[in-house]
Amino acid sequence: MATLLKIIVTGTPFQLAMGVKNMGKASVLLIMVICCWISMAEAEYFKYKDPKKPIGVRIKDLMKRMTLEEKIGQMTQIDKKVASNEVINKYFIGSVLSGGGSVPAKQASPKTWVDMVNDYQKGSLSTRLGIPLIYGIDAVHGHNNVYKATIFPHNVGLGVTRDPVLVKKIGAATAREVRATGIQYAFAPCIAVCRDPRWGRCYESYSEDPKIVKLMTEIIPGLQGEIPAGSRKGVPFVGGPDKVAACAKHYLGDGGTHLGTNEGNTIVDAKEFFSIHMPAYYDAVIKGVATIMTSYSSWNGVKMHANRFLVTDFLKNRLKFKGFVISDWQGIDRITTPEHTNYTYSIIAGMNAGIDMFMVPYNYTEFIDGLTYLVKNRFIPTSRVDDAVKRILRVKFSMGLFEKPLADYSMAKYLGSQEHRDLAREAVRKTLVLLKNGKSLKTPLLPLPKQASKILVAGSHADNIGYQCGGWTIEWQGLSGDITDGTTILSAVKKTVGPKTQVVYNENPSDSFVKSNKFDYAIVVVGEHPYAETFGDSKNLTIPEPGPSTINNVCGSVKCVVVVISGRPVVIQPYLKTIDALVAAWLPGSEGQGVTDVLFGDYGFTGKLARTWFKSVNQLPMNVGDAHYDPLYPFGFGLTTKPRKN
């Protein structure tokens, strides 16, 4: 019988027939039953891998095959610094991420990125069920961790444009560049409504106005693709190999914390909370966003990572969100104060809230062991685990990950492509806000003449790509200097002016230097140094030295335009009388030529403030519509110029 079974499984039809000929009727019947059983088993085994099957059928088929360990592995996301083919295989890891600055090598090429991601993916594919992992990265203003990627303006600038078509194009370009490195998942967009510029993440917010933030959710179909007509509300959609899974963040109220404190407490009633901070999430869910990230912050003292009402009852049940909810970096650790003091409680609270995937970058074994124990001992119901895993699998199936888990090098051409840089340059032009133009309306300084005898370019930010890009660029906190490919504002000035115009660059000149050189005019570029998250929280919002000294030394001696590079409005009133023209350039990114396109009149200024510009920090928080509204420049303000005719 053993020999015959071997023939059944591996033999030719002739061998099978000869084997049957020598058997009795009962044996033949047994063989037929075994053949039928093998055939059915094989068909059933491949059901979840069959792209022709409905996603619901595939999920159901795969779920019934999974052990608890395999399910919990899917719910675990670890950082690449601790990831390996072996770790992923052993623990059935469902997702890997690159945190800020977490790269395969300094200045790594797209090929190096693809090879790394594929190696991790091979660890997943070699597991019993071969469930592919999803690799995530913070691509918040372009593919900003990656050397030579196009760096787009940060959201604080894009909100100025009020242009959903533009941000959709930026989303599509970002998706292509992310895919160029083999990555399928971007932790973007941030749809926070920043209500206090003292918050260190304010530049990640499009506006203080929820209507503008809601408008900018059009970046989601740019990243993921246009959701098909007739799709069920809340079902995630990712449309093809040049698209990525998006992540609306940080749910909910991260931009409304008391005093603008990062990870702080948003203290407002339900009416204000939902009317200001929820509208963009309604749209994100309708547009098929694949994932939503919970916020570190609290609402009236309840941590969002532990808020069952908002995560499960409202987002999942009322809004019908069918994608997965992911924690922030070590988010459940911070449920307790001090953080990580009762990790068992944190796991229970996060699971009961409705979080599906847990970003546990380093202590993943503690999380896996803890959750396994809690489920096996019935502190957490298996139904909660199943809900999480179904949602994660739904996203993976909708992305086509099971059909094409491995990346190739064909998308590499998109990283930092000229087409994308041209788009970023266009975006820079549209983000600029002209706040002052001339010491009187009759004597505008802008647009600047390209033909001049001698001009001065000054300021710490004039020739610094790192400062121009801000935080979340190459490293989490950003960097100074020549950190990636791009055009500084100084370089752009030199490319723009006439061949006979002498351009003198002095980062921080003395007033005597300025007076003795007889410049026709000066361009001063100053602003904030790069920062991210809590490191950017500020109580004073001042331009750091030598910025103010540069403004006073230059603008006190020659006609000047001051270009402010910052992630938010900053204190500028003390210098206004000295300044002839003032431009808010926010954090423009890698394409500084977009600034000079408008300064020199090839294009006109069109930007309107999407944030209130305060007179003094003592007025904060102050937003449009407030009873005590008394700004230096109101929400919606912005002078315009017409393009100069050549």
Instruction: Write out the catalytic residue numbers.
Output: 328, 533
H/E stretch holding 79: strand 76-79
The answer to whether the CB of 256 falls within 8 A of the CB of 273 is yes
Cα–Cα dist 233/221, whole Å = 14
H/E stretch holding 251: strand 247-251
Cα–Cα dist 388/409, whole Å = 33
Cα–Cα dist 407/386, whole Å = 29
Q: What are the beta bridge partners of residue 456? A: 504, 522
Give CA angle at 523 (521, 525), nearest 5°.
Answer: 160
**298-299 vs 265-266, strand pairing mode:** parallel
Cα–Cα dist 200/186, whole Å = 21
Cα–Cα dist 161/272, whole Å = 26
SS (H, E, C) 482-550: CCCCCECHHHHHHHHCCCCCEEEEECCCCHHHHHHHCCCEEEEEEECCCCCHHHHCCCCCCCCCCHHHH
Which residue in this structure is represented by tokens 């003592």? 618
Among residues 585, 3, 76, 627, which one has the least CA distance to residue 351? 76
The helix/strand/coil state of 603 is coil
Cα–Cα dist 586/609, whole Å = 11
Measured between its terminal Cα atoms, the distance across the chain in Å is 92
Among residues 221, 596, 176, 188, which one has the least CA distance to residue 417? 176
Q: What are the beta bridge partners of residue 298? A: 265, 303
Which residue in this structure is represented by tokens 């050397």? 147
The answer to whether the CB of 391 falls within 8 A of the CB of 321 is no
